[in-house]
Chains A and B, each alone.
Chain A
């Protein structure tokens, strides 16, 4: 029997959603300050409206939904999916008011893309937007990478009751420390420490490349936020092409590779477990699948003779493949270059890289290396079982922070999530083909959206059909939250209608 949610359940959901939305409003203080510092008054007003709307909505929910009821697992998951939706609706206010979007849906597309660290955008005339709006785009992606729930847990939650339930809902289930709020703070500590170091190197290199000190500083912060969060946004429409620099590429690649690693792995290394780097199943899986994607892309590019020599080919191909595999989406080639120069075979290599994606409990998307490793081990286990005597007990182990025995439940969950990803990739592809796009191109952008990568071959544009925008928003949202929260939200709707 399905139990219909009671008013008290909605109160719990409303109370915690309110807290998260207040967090989004507080985040807008950063771009507001940027706009004020650069004298961008209209942009500042847009952020004040955004802050006001978030605070009114969030505080309004808190006033209306005070309840002594404790949060259950179902509540936690619904809070996450619902608050991500509301954060997108309200976070899009400054975007829309900037006048750079055709519709509010387009503004929401960009905000969802930011939160989910995708990097696809529908913003028009990016090269003339304010520093404030550029700051907001990148703060969105930085905050989204760590998780907006993690932010709320870090700053707005006083007790730990129920905290773990909404933390898990955001696609993160690793506890770095025994207390989940301490875990959230540890995630921020790791990210902020890297922010300082990474931005400093990018700032210096930017000045060496001919950028002025102030613009170099802003670009450094934005590109770091984008690379670390495996986002893909950039302050100029040329993305990483703008810098024309091997040095910038050499600095950004390690940032997005490290950013794509599991926070638990970071924490283990920070706390002295350096062996974890080469023992971890995700790292082994990552380097293996990167090698396969590199080989595919190389084969495609060599076949077409796109680049004049092997060193140049490797430089271009390596950056795009690693950017795709870490689901970053920064690129040193034009979007249409994938179609017009790289060709279908290389694009398949990139699609494979994007589909597999980064590590679990990281800023990245895709199937995740952990699941690929588990499925690979399960296949090996089954093959061994087939060729062994019936009485033999075949044991397979996998190492992620600790060494564990591979059991059917773990494999089942990994397969379920991977199949769900395949489902959303297929959905986006089918819709794209329905609207007349080429199959491979439709698949490229659909996988990019679903895996939160952000590379595009030109399908995503402000003029694409509205339904495709909606489907891509759904893909980004579902892919980032790894489905469980969405299933819970859908279950809530079903319970509302059919429950007793």
Chain B
């Protein structure tokens, strides 16, 4: 196990450098720079000012030099400051946006799991039944419905027509003056619609995986054996089949971990939620290189570590991997 871990960790560093280098080059290749957007089509911005700013941000240096100075600062965990006039440190900007995105995505993920697993299991067990058909249809409708359209419909109905739920934002205008529980309730009611919309679209994938994996498992010999032993159907499905059927789903879940910190731009924009998705898109539009790169580093590190943990977990499960992978991995 030790050498395996060391080997994996050693690969992470050059991989990270490679990822950031390629990203840095690609971002810089995009036409325009941070200052072109500052300027817009304003006749009042003088060329000298632009030159000064170019030097201030170090944009006049060759790309490789820029990358090197960025990398050396990163090695000291200095992500730099945003090019935008707020001049905030990159980590502060990410820190402002991350909590709400994480909260939304985690809640969404939990709800998806809680709903998708039973749907998948039931429709596999009763393959071809009307329940299977109805859920399949429902789930595909959800998959095919554009987020923004569903969001606007719900906002219009529950927000504007009925007035039951707030339309957008995270807090009411009088939030500061509410009681503690009033504040929590207010916050939850603001999150209700975005979560419903996000969940509805995400259900399809998971429930399909679950169904597929369950279908494979119930055909296995040990399920036959369990039935032959005279175990009740509940135990056969709930204990023997489900556990094994969940394995691939857990893998997919692991891989979607890094996605938890990247928000959905569409949902965030429509519901006016200041999350990571909006931050990333705005930074890209504004060519705010430090923030874009900072974001990428966070995502890259998370992805690499999620993979690493997955490999370690496999290593525990499967001795072949732990022992050097001579016979290939999985």
Verify that A and B bind, or say they do not.
no
Chain B interface residues (CB < 8 Å from chain A) = none
Interface of A toward B, CB cutoff 8 Å: none
